[in-house]
């Protein structure tokens, strides 16, 4: 008798990559993995949860309660960061098991044994193996996990406590996973981890990995997912430039704040000056590179002067995209106990001002690319239009019959095809 399974993924691109590994494990165990919207009565429902904010964890719990109401006979398993942080709340919400992040490797074989989420994070090893290769039945891009964990312990961030210390996926397994994705016809590989810049297996760092992957035969490209800035990692920029059209002109470097004083309070390990020099080097060697970032407003102790410095720095950097976050205390992190928490109305106004600057710089970047050549993968049809992404992460919409879907095409960026805002992926 056929068994059906659904996987619901919340949060970051690393969770997407983890869900691809979960898909492969379930398929090997005899499950047919179906889309949640397929209308099939699933025997097993997996929720890969998120805990980057308190609201993300709450959303994960709400999903479990809804799943239990709508699927009273299904086995429901929660894994991911929220389950790592507080497994009991998911059992109380209706889950049959709550597994931590390292518990993903036992799904579905040993669910009962690990039902209380008592698998320890495998942080003692610097290199790990997943012992499976990723499967992407419902995606147009392949998200390949290359790294886990973080050693930075930024004062606002829960991630090191739920993902463990930095460790890298074995080089041979990463290469095999990438080769499989290329053989399966994926035009884009997204390399992801908590801190991809920390990748290192036996002396092969991220730059070396890029060089190896660029030599895989086939018509595909490589995109780096969000990276924690390492201001001594200029070799990564060199490797991206050497990769030519095989490597996307895309860097998402999490800034978090444009004031050195606040960066120090956040335990970020660089200055604005170092960040500025790194971005300048990237733009020099990668013309047309999309530089995106994350910025927090309202961090504890952020004064009007600190915010003004951050606002001006973001304006100066002319980012192609800025993810803005209003600071909210995350229980279990040092920042949650810091004095001088900023008032909500002040945070709201600072968010508004930063959003205005971010939208202006994003629009300027889009304008700068009009008339220039780009490598675009058109992925999906929507209301008579074919939508896709350029290598430097701009969204285009063209008539459905203009280009083939799922292939890399050379495309001159015309204004009428360039979308004013990047839609959600």
Which is nearest to 365 in space by CA: 196, 201, 249? Answer: 249
What's the full length of the chain, in residues? 425
- Over residues 267-311, the pLDDT tens digits come to 999 999 999 999 999 999 999 999 999 999 999 999 999 999 999
pLDDT higher than threshold 80 for residue 177: yes
Give the mean pLDDT of 212-220: 96
| pLDDT score for 416 | 81
Task: Provide the pLDDT confidence category of residue 124 given band limits of 50, 70 and 90.
Answer: low
Helices (H), 164-232: 171-183, 206-214
* Beta strands in 313-404, from DSSP E residues, in sequence order: 321-326, 373-382, 385-390, 395-399
| pLDDT score for 59 | 94
| pLDDT score for 187 | 96
Tokens of 251: 């860097």
Count of other CB atoms within 10 angstroms of residue 301: 14
pLDDT higher than threshold 60 for residue 259: yes
Task: Provide the pLDDT confidence category of residue 110 given band limits of 50, 70 and 90.
Answer: low
- Over residues 342-358, the pLDDT tens digits come to 999 999 999 999 999 99
**In the chain, what percentage of residues exceed pLDDT 90?**
75
pLDDT higher than threshold 70 for residue 116: no
- Over residues 357-372, the pLDDT tens digits come to 999 999 999 999 999 9
| pLDDT score for 421 | 62
Mean pLDDT of the chain: 91
- Over residues 47-100, the pLDDT tens digits come to 999 998 888 899 999 999 999 999 999 999 999 999 999 999 999 999 999 988
| pLDDT score for 188 | 97
| pLDDT score for 404 | 86
Round to whole Å and give the CA distance between 74 and 80.
19
Alpha-carbon distance values, 253 to 145, 160, 167 (Å): 18, 18, 20
| pLDDT score for 381 | 83
pLDDT higher than threshold 80 for residue 21: yes
| pLDDT score for 113 | 45
Round to whole Å and give the CA distance between 132 and 408.
28
Instruction: Write 230-233 long-range contacts (CB < 8 A, 24+).
Output: 230/197, 230/198, 231/270, 231/274, 231/275, 231/277, 231/278, 233/197, 233/206, 233/207, 233/278
Round to whole Å and give the CA distance between 198 and 324.
24
Give the mean pLDDT of 225-245: 90
pLDDT higher than threshold 70 for residue 117: no
Count of other CB atoms within 10 angstroms of residue 272: 18
The answer to whether 320 touches 290, Cβ cutoff 8 Å, is yes
Q: Report the range out of 24-28, 29-33, 39-43, 209-213 with the highest average pLDDT.
A: 209-213
The answer to whether 164 touches 149, Cβ cutoff 8 Å, is yes
Q: Are strands 167-169 and 147-148 parallel, antiparallel or unpaired?
A: antiparallel
Q: Enter the DSSP assignment of 245.
A: G
- Over residues 374-417, the pLDDT tens digits come to 899 998 888 889 999 999 999 999 998 888 888 999 888 777 88
pLDDT higher than threshold 90 for residue 335: yes
Phi-psi group of 113: left, alpha or beta (phi > 0 → left; psi -120 to 50 → alpha; rest → beta): alpha
* Beta strands in 200-287, from DSSP E residues, in sequence order: 200-201, 204-205, 221-224, 250-252
Q: What angle do CA 327, 330, 333 make, to 5 degrees?
A: 110
3-class SS of residue 48 = strand
pLDDT higher than threshold 50 for residue 114: no
Phi-psi group of 202: left, alpha or beta (phi > 0 → left; psi -120 to 50 → alpha; rest → beta): left
Q: Which residues on neighbouring strands pair with residue 323, listed in sequence order?
A: 294
């Amino acid at each position: 008798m056929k068994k059906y399974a659904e996987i619901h993924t919340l949060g970051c691109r690393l969770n997407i990559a983890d869900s691809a590994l979960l898909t492969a494990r379930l398929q090997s165990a005899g499950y047919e993995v179906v889309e949640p919207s397929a209308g099939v009565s699933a025997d097993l429902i997996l929720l890969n949860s998120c805990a980057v904010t308190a609201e993300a964890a709450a959303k994960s719990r709400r999903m479990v309660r809804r799943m239990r109401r709508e699927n009273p006979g299904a086995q429901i398993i929660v894994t991911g960061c929220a389950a790592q942080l507080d497994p009991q709340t998911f059992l109380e919400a209706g889950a049959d098991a709550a597994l931590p992040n390292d518990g993903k490797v036992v799904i579905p074989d040993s669910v009962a044994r690990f039902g209380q989420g008592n698998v320890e994070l495998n942080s003692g090893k610097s290199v790990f193996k997943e012992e499976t290769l990723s499967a992407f039945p419902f995606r147009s891009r392949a998200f390949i996990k290359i790294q886990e964990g973080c050693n930075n312990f930024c004062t606002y961030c829960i991630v090191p406590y739920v993902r463990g210390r930095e460790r890298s996926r074995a080089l041979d397994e990463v290469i095999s996973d990438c080769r499989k994705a290329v053989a399966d016809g994926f035009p884009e590989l997204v390399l992801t981890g908590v801190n991809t810049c920390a990748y290192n297996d036996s002396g092969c760092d991220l730059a070396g990995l890029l060089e190896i992957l660029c030599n895989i035969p086939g018509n595909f490209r490589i995109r780096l997912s969000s990276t924690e800035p390492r201001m001594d990692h200029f070799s990564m920029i060199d490797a991206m430039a050497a990769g030519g059209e095989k490597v996307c002109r895309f860097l998402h470097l999490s800034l978090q704040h444009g004031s050195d004083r606040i960066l120090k309070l956040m335990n970020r390990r660089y200055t604005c000056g170092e960040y500025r020099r790194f971005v300048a080097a990237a733009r020099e060697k990668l013309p047309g590179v999309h530089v995106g970032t994350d910025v927090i407003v309202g961090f504890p102790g952020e004064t009007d002067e600190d915010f003004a410095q951050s606002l001006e720095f973001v304006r100066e950097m002319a980012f192609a995209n800025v993810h803005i976050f209003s600071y909210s205390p995350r229980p279990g992190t040092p920042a949650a106990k810091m004095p001088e928490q900023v008032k909500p109305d002040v945070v709201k106004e600072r968010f508004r001002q930063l959003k205005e600057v971010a939208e202006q710089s994003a629009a300027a970047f889009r304008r700068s690319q009009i008339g220039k050549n780009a490598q675009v993968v058109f992925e999906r049809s929507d209301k008579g239009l074919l939508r896709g992404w350029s290598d430097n992460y701009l969204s285009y919409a063209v008539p459905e019959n203009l280009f083939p879907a799922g292939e890399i095409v050379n495309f001159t960026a015309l204004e009428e095809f360039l979308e004013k805002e990047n839609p959600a992926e």
